[in-house]
Structure formats: structure tokens, C-alpha cells
Amino acid sequence: MKEIPDSELVVSSREGSQEAYAELFHRYKHKLLNYIYGYVGNFTAAQELSQETFIRAFEHLDELRDDAKFSSWLFSIATNISRNFIAERKKEPGESMDRPINASASLTLADVVPDDRYRPDSQIEKQQLQEKIQRAIDSLAPHYREVLLLCDIEGFSYEEIARILRCKVGTIGSRLNEARKKFRAAFRKEKE
């Protein structure tokens, strides 16, 4: 069955269709939660921020200029919300960007997946590797995190990333250069 384009769902949502709104929500909730979790490194916060993103998007649906660009617009809202969350955390006493957010988070992904006791060693090693990747991401400045998550994890094109981050397409390549180098260095440090 042919998928209904986002633009049609946006128009119907604006006209008050609950079904169209539900379809957009189901279409993007997983990708959005995954992005925000990668960004803030705290699963509980990622759920709340995802919820906030959807609420804000649907409250401001009239402000979306190109209905076909709904996903970039949604991720742009998510990026702003996540940036603010990180900035607020930075202001809190005892918090700093040098300290992985996971260290003070109420819940990380490791807390919500099955207990280590029921997993073979290979699974535990895999989990540890995943935690190292997340900690290396957490150690980066927000503008590096977002470009890596959007490109290498969520698979957006350079044009889409430029729209999400509201910058020129030409900026994306150079920012990715820096971000990938910094991530690789942080990841190696985690492995030591």
C-alpha cells in the first residue's frame, strides 16, 4: 500500500484530523526518541523531550512553511529543545560539559534493557561498547553532537541537516570533519 506523504498528513492535521496527527506521530516517534536519546544521553529526559517536541510541533503546525519538509522541521524543534536541555544542565551546580551526562542521569538505556545477569559475556561486551560510544558523544559540544547524530546515525542528507540546523549546506562538511575527529579521539580515550 502506498504511504501517504507527510505533506498530506500535515494538511489533514491542521484541519483537525486526529488520524493524520496519529500517523505522523507513529511515523517519527522512534527516530525522534533515538535522536534525542543520543543527544542528551538520558533515557527519561529523552522521553520527556520527545513528548515536548511533538506537543510543540502540533501547536505550531501553522508555522510550517513547506509541508513536505515536516521531518526536518520536527527535528529542528527537537534540536532546539535538546540544546536548551544541555544548556540548562550546564548551569546546574556540579554539572559541566566535561562530565558525561550519563554520570548524573536518572536513567540510561542500560537501565531499561534486561539485566546483565541474563546475558552472555558477548552481550555484556556489546553493551559496554555501546556505552562507550554514548559517553564519547556526550563529551562533545552540542553543535558537534547534532551533526554526527543527524548524519551518521539518523542518515539525513546534508541538505536536510542544513535545514534542521539552519545553516548553509557548505558548513556541514567542515563541521563533520571536526566532529568526527573529536568523536574518534573521545572514543579512543574511553577505550583506554
Q: Where on the chain is the footprint of another protein (CB under 8 A)?
A: 21-22, 25, 29-30, 33-34, 37-38, 43, 47, 50-51, 54-56, 58-59, 109, 112-113, 129-130, 133-134, 148, 151-153, 158, 173-174, 176-177, 180-181, 183-184, 187
Q: Which is nearer to another protein, 25 or 76 (CB)?
A: 25
Q: Name 85's Cβ contacts closer than 8 Å, sequence gap at least 6.
A: 40, 45, 49
Give exposure, 34-73, as e/b (b: 16+ Cβ within 10 Å): ebbbbbbbbbebbeebbebbbeebeeebeebeebebbbbb
Question: Among residues 86 and 137, whose Cβ is nearest to another protein?
Answer: 137
Q: Shortest approach of another protein to residue 18 CB, angstroms? A: 9
Q: What is the Cα Rg of the chain in Å?
A: 18
Q: Which is nearer to another protein, 86 or 150 (CB)?
A: 150
**How far does Cα 78 stand from its chain's mean position?**
7
> Which CB sits closer to another protein, 59 or 98?
59
Q: In the complex with another protein, which residue's Cβ is closer, 3 or 92?
A: 3
Q: What are phi and psi of 111, to 5 degrees?
A: -80, -20
Q: Which of 164, 128, 129 is nearest to 148 (CA)?
A: 164
Write the DSSP assignment of 70-84 as a string of letters.
Answer: HHHHHHHHHHHHHHH
Report the nearest approach of another protein to the CB of residue 33 (Å).
5
CB of 54 to another protein, least distance (A): 8
Q: Considering the complex, state which of residue 21 and residue 86 has its C-beta at the smaller distance from another protein.
A: 21
Task: Write down the least CB distance from residue 77 to another protein, Å.
Answer: 12
Could you tell me the smallest distance in angstroms from the CB atom of residue 162 to another protein? 11
Asked if residues 53 and 78 have their Cβ atoms less than 8 Å apart, the reply is yes
- Shortest CB 19 distance to another protein, Å: 11
C-beta separation of 42 from 102 below 8 A? yes
